[in-house]
Amino acid sequence: MKYPPIIKGLPHMIHGGDYNPEQWRDTPQIWTEDFRLADLAHLNSLSVGIFSWTALEPREGEYDFSWLDTILDEMAKHGMKAILATPSGARPAWMSQKYPEVLRVGADRVRILQGERHNHCYTSPVYREKVAAINEQLARRYAGHPALGAWHLSNEYSGECHCPLCQEAFRSWLKARYHNSLDELNRAWWTAFWSHTYTDWSQVESPSPRGEQNLHGLTLDWMRFATEQTLDFIKAESEPLRRLTPDVPLVTNMMGVYPELDYFRLADGLDVASWDNYPQWMNDEGDAHVAAFAGFQHDLTRCTKDGRPFLLMESSPSSTNWQPVGKLRRPGGHKTYSLQAVAHGADSVQYFQFRKSRGSSEKFHGAVVDHVGNENTRVFGEVKQTGEALTHLDAVVGTAVPAETAVIYDWNNRWVLKDSKGFLQEKGYEQTVLAHYEGFYRRGVPMDVIDQTKPLDKYKLVIAPMLYLLRPGFAEKAEAFVRGGGTFVTTYYSGYVDEHDLCFLGGFPGPLKNLLGIWCEELDGLRPQDTNRMLWEGKDYTLHDFAEVIHLRGAQALGEYGEDFYAGYPALTRNQVGGGSAYYVAARFGEDFHNDFTDHLIRTCGIRTTLGMLPGGVSAQMRTDGENEFVFVMNFMPYAQAVDFGPGGVDMESGETVSGRGELPARGIRMFRR
Ligand code: GLA
Ligand code: ZN
């Protein structure tokens, strides 16, 4: 089974990036040169129009599309497809001056001044009207244009607005959520605490450092509202595009694990998922870990649209100017880092940016074409080489990642965990999910990263670390999954609160108690110097940060605590339910445990790995069309490593046979079909 290509008429891997020709309108010879260079680098797409509002509508209602016409016509001549942006990511000054309501208000209730970007009010009727008007113009003008490939909605939607219009919208949203009953809201938010009961809807306000920050139910609903209001804005700005160009897919660039928006929800307004990936290679964590984190975010992005191919919308071909250190990508690295996205299900490699801008804050950000202006740079050479490699991957376009294992990463849970006080202030949710993910990633197991709203039945194994907040229905879904033969793993700090962040009464892990066959009586926060350990199958595993004191209620203890007053209590349990099992990991362990536990799960669940054992810093991923498997083996380390390709297959670039032991160069990649 294959998905159709994301861009109609472009059945290839997309190779492109952000391009801002409006910055070079006075020098048309540069435009000409740009197309020569784009061809040379094997680019088949450019993302244009991002932040172009003033160039398109210099004065209210006065449009100028002449420059964009030229660019799109030129792209069509070169057989390229445009990912055409709506300009709502940044506003013209005339608009802010005439309609101050479009300017965002911060949590401190101060309205910003004109400037920067990504800072409009999502609720403002004026902003929505202006966006709809220009989007209508764009869609009318370019509907049917041979270069129009996809719509790039705005840019990196982010943040929140606390203006009076947004406060009113928040109250309306709450009224709908709580059936117009302030009593229901007061109960859900537990407002009797500290005498915070509301007696009139008009008293309800968004959280603020100058006001309420400790009503957890309020904070949670405000975070949800921010996502819903962004989604509502997306839908409003999409209306003319959907109406006038119904066949052109809508995409916006997400930001991986960006904390403030629930991307699983936001994806509802999109046809295709995409994200901007800026890994910090060569930092203190080491590239093996950096690669795993990038892999995690690729998988997460793919799963926001249920596994369909996604776009790597931005990446730097060289250094990234906002990072603390502007490290250059080392020779060879660019191709491997770029194709890593494809290995995890992307159908594109795209850059920020094509041509380096001459002024302002991004003039030293990596780009395909540097200020020198020609193709004779190392970076250009690496981009070209990557483009060449992509031309050999037509068969991979539209294929899926065959994940049998999923890890749950849930924004609602993330928000409330951050708020929850006690045990240990720093919860480390992201790191914990990643630690579980990495065990499988290092073994070349394709993974899905999903939230609690997604179906579980297609997996053999589902891991839900620190699942503190349980969404309605999740416990039942997990139980049905296990009864049907699945394996479910969860950990300490799970099943504590419901969807309102109210504690479950009657014992933790709340509605997961029966499935897991345990009762958690207490949770111990550990100081860095505290020591304890677990004994499991004759081995000792050190634990840290969190240790729960749990009792068996049907489950079997696999591992036990070694020290302290809970020595001898279970620390790792398994409960057999129906045809499957549910594991509970009662404490936070290190890499030694994750390695052994992952091996145990792979063995007992019969999970397939892409290749056999892999050396550290090597990743193996696969995609499939149902008949062929496309295997990507990547070495992220700065030295060559030997890998066992097993029975191997046909190298997708050279056509040679790959099998048995072979060498991957430093930061090198091998791709074969089997
Ligand atoms: C983001 C933005 C781009 C650019 C890059 C720089 O991803 O979307 O416009 O600012 O960062 O890394
Ligand atoms: Zn607002």
Q: Report whether residue 155 contacts ligand 1, using a CB cutoff of 6 Å.
A: yes
Which tens digit of pLDDT belongs to each residue from 258-307? 999 999 999 999 999 999 999 999 988 899 999 999 999 999 999 999 99
Angle, in degrees to the nearest 10, between helices 216-244 and 125-142: 30
Q: Are 30 and 61 in contact (CB under 8 A)?
A: no
Ligand number, closest to the Cα atom of 106: 2
Q: Are 89 and 154 in contact (CB under 8 A)?
A: yes
Q: Report whether residue 320 contacts ligand 1, using a CB cutoff of 6 Å.
A: yes
Q: Report whether residue 94 contacts ligand 1, using a CB cutoff of 6 Å.
A: no
Tell me how far the alpha carbon of residue 151 lies from the centroid of ligand 1, in angstroms. 17
Residue found under tokens 């003039």: 363
Alpha carbons 356 and 492: distance in angstroms, whole number: 48
Q: What is the CATH number of domain 405-605?
A: 3.40.50.880
Best CA proximity match to 250, nearest among 156, 130, 149, 341 = 149
The CA radius of gyration of the chain, in Å to the nearest whole number, is: 26
Structure tokens at 186: 């007061």
Residue segments in the chain with a per-residue pLDDT below the cut of 70: none
Give the pLDDT score at 285: 84
Q: What is the CATH number of domain 14-162+225-396?
A: 3.20.20.80
Q: How many CB atoms lie within 10 A of CB 70?
A: 14
Q: Report whether residue 154 contacts ligand 1, using a CB cutoff of 6 Å.
A: no
User: Is residue 60 annotated as a catalytic residue, yes or no?
Assistant: no
Give the pLDDT score at 601: 98
Tell me how far the alpha carbon of residue 405 lies from the centroid of ligand 1, in angstroms. 32
Tell me how far the alpha carbon of residue 352 lies from the centroid of ligand 1, in angstroms. 7
How many alpha carbons fall within 13 Å on the CB side of residue 60?
11
Give the pLDDT score at 196: 97
User: Is residue 156 annotated as a catalytic residue, yes or no?
Assistant: yes
Query: Residue with the nearest Cα to atom 5 of ligand 1?
Result: 352
Q: How many CB atoms lie within 10 A of CB 234?
A: 21
Q: How many CB atoms lie within 10 A of CB 61?
A: 9
Q: Ligand 1, residues 276, 277, 355: which to mutate, most atoms within 8 A of Cβ?
A: 276
Tell me how far the alpha carbon of residue 47 lies from the centroid of ligand 1, in angstroms. 12
Ligand number, closest to the Cα atom of 230: 2
Alpha carbons 274 and 398: distance in angstroms, whole number: 15
Alpha carbons 26 and 4: distance in angstroms, whole number: 40
Q: Where are the domains of the chain?
A: 14-162+225-396, 405-605, 620-673
Give the pLDDT score at 123: 98
Query: Residue with the nearest Cα to atom 3 of ligand 1?
Result: 352
Q: Report whether residue 352 contacts ligand 1, using a CB cutoff of 6 Å.
A: yes
Give the pLDDT score at 284: 81
pTM value > 0.95: yes
Give the pLDDT score at 43: 98
Structure tokens at 134: 């220009």
Q: Report whether residue 278 contacts ligand 1, using a CB cutoff of 6 Å.
A: yes
Tell me how far the alpha carbon of residue 90 lies from the centroid of ligand 2, in angstroms. 15
- The DSSP secondary structure of 228-253, one letter per residue, reads HHHHHHHHHHHHHHHHH-TTSPEEEE
Q: Report whether residue 276 contacts ligand 1, using a CB cutoff of 6 Å.
A: yes
Query: Residue with the nearest Cα to atom 4 of ligand 1?
Result: 352
Helix (H, G, I), strand (E, B) or coil at 132: helix
Q: Ligand 1, residues 50, 116, 156, 360: which to mutate, most atoms within 8 A of Cβ?
A: 156
Alpha carbons 450 and 485: distance in angstroms, whole number: 20
Q: Report whether residue 277 contacts ligand 1, using a CB cutoff of 6 Å.
A: no
Query: Residue with the nearest Cα to atom 7 of ligand 1?
Result: 276
Q: Report whether residue 623 contacts ligand 1, using a CB cutoff of 6 Å.
A: no
Catalytic-role residue among 74, 160, 237, 314: 314
The atom number, within ligand 1, closest to the CA of 117 reads: 9
Which tens digit of pLDDT belongs to each residue from 467-505? 999 999 999 999 999 999 999 999 999 999 999 999 999
Catalytic-role residue among 22, 156, 160, 404: 156
Tell me how far the alpha carbon of residue 414 lies from the centroid of ligand 2, in angstroms. 24
620-673 homologous superfamily: Golgi alpha-mannosidase II (2.60.40.1180)
Ligand number, closest to the Cα atom of 85: 1
Tell me how far the alpha carbon of residue 158 lies from the centroid of ligand 1, in angstroms. 13
Q: Report whether residue 31 contacts ligand 1, using a CB cutoff of 6 Å.
A: no
Q: Report whether residue 365 contacts ligand 1, using a CB cutoff of 6 Å.
A: yes
How many alpha carbons fall within 13 Å on the CB side of residue 484?
13
